Amino acid sequence: MRKQTIHVWKNCLWAFAGFLLVTCISVRPAMAAAAEKSEAQSLIDKSKASFSDLMNDENFSLLHTYLKNAKAVLIFPQVLKAGFFLGGSGGSGVLLVRNEATGTWSDPAFYTLGSVTFGFQIGGEAAELVMVAVNQKAIDSLLSSSVKLGGDLSVAVGPVGGGAKGSLTIPEIRADFVSFARSKGLYAGLNLEGSVMQVRDGLNNSYYGKSVTPKEILIGKEVSAAGANELRAVLEKALAK
């Protein structure tokens, strides 16, 4: 009788252990997805704030002009410089594509930017960065899992200077992207040549609640999120000025 009782208890313990294991296996991905969704929303909110800051800075008057002809916009609210021994730098951001017929913007897709070189003008170790895609080639390149800036895909540093919005003549820049960056209120000399942009599949999937590609988000518009409405509205308002 005693052996039978022990045997029953062992079976119960094994069953309970199995239940805990299955519960942990099912709960952990859900917790990770919730954390990534929260991170994605925070990134959207920070991108909205950074974009508004640069648009209101008189030193970035020409950003308004480039934006009116933009095919898409990349916003990285915080590009960090790594330590001396590690080298390089980078950050996460969002990409939105403009519908030229309606002037509306897509919901955002999430990307990382790595190995940026900080110039002498930086004046700090973190920068806000806005990149304007000026042609279809730039958009097409960003639909792949990763893209390297430089070579076939070119990027130019946007002109910086004071003056009323739209009062400066836009220079001829033959590049796929034009970048504008600022650090602690100063112009940031960011060299993006050789930097790599990669899709953050985890954030995209968690934010939209299913497996989704940048093409499905940006071009097919197969998903949408109310949490991105304010960012899209800020971009649309900027075009209307």
Highest-confidence range of 34-43, 60-69, 79-88, 115-124, by mean pLDDT?
34-43
Considering the domain boundaries, does residue 94 fall inside one?
yes
> Residue 31 in 3-state DSSP?
helix
The answer on pLDDT for 113 being more than 80 is yes
Considering the domain boundaries, does residue 71 fall inside one?
yes
Considering the domain boundaries, does residue 68 fall inside one?
yes
Split into its structural domains, the chain has a count of: 1
User: Could you tell me the residue range of the domain that residue 68 belongs to?
Assistant: 47-240
* H/E segment holding residue 191: strand 190-191
Q: How many angstroms separate the CA atoms of 173 and 28, rounded?
A: 49
In the chain, what percentage of residues exceed pLDDT 70?
72
The answer on pLDDT for 54 being more than 60 is yes
The answer on pLDDT for 18 being more than 90 is no
Determine whether 187 is exposed, middle or buried from the number of CB atoms within 10 Å of its CB (0-12, 13-18, 19+). buried
Considering the domain boundaries, does residue 167 fall inside one?
yes
**pTM assigned to the model:** 0.80
**Three-point CA angle 30, 77, 68, nearest 5°:** 115
- pLDDT value, residue 173: 64
The answer on pLDDT for 121 being more than 50 is no
Considering the domain boundaries, does residue 15 fall inside one?
no
- pLDDT value, residue 59: 86
Q: Tens of pLDDT along 167-220?
A: 444 555 678 999 998 887 666 667 788 888 999 999 999 999 999 999 999 999
Best CA proximity match to 214, nearest among 110, 114, 127: 110
- Quickly state the pLDDT bin for 119 (edges 50, 70, 90): low
The answer on pLDDT for 85 being more than 50 is no
Considering the domain boundaries, does residue 14 fall inside one?
no
| Residue 102: C-alpha distances to residues 88, 124, 133 (Å) | 39, 39, 18
* Cβ atoms of residues 197 and 179 within 8 Å: no
Considering the domain boundaries, does residue 13 fall inside one?
no
Highest-confidence range of 9-18, 49-58, 61-70, 76-85, by mean pLDDT?
49-58
The answer on pLDDT for 83 being more than 90 is no
Q: How many angstroms separate the CA atoms of 59 and 75, rounded?
A: 18
Q: What are phi and psi of 76, to 5 degrees?
A: -115, 105
- Quickly state the pLDDT bin for 137 (edges 50, 70, 90): very high
153 vs 122, more confident: 153
In the chain, what percentage of residues exceed pLDDT 90?
44
The answer on pLDDT for 156 being more than 70 is yes
Considering the domain boundaries, does residue 21 fall inside one?
no
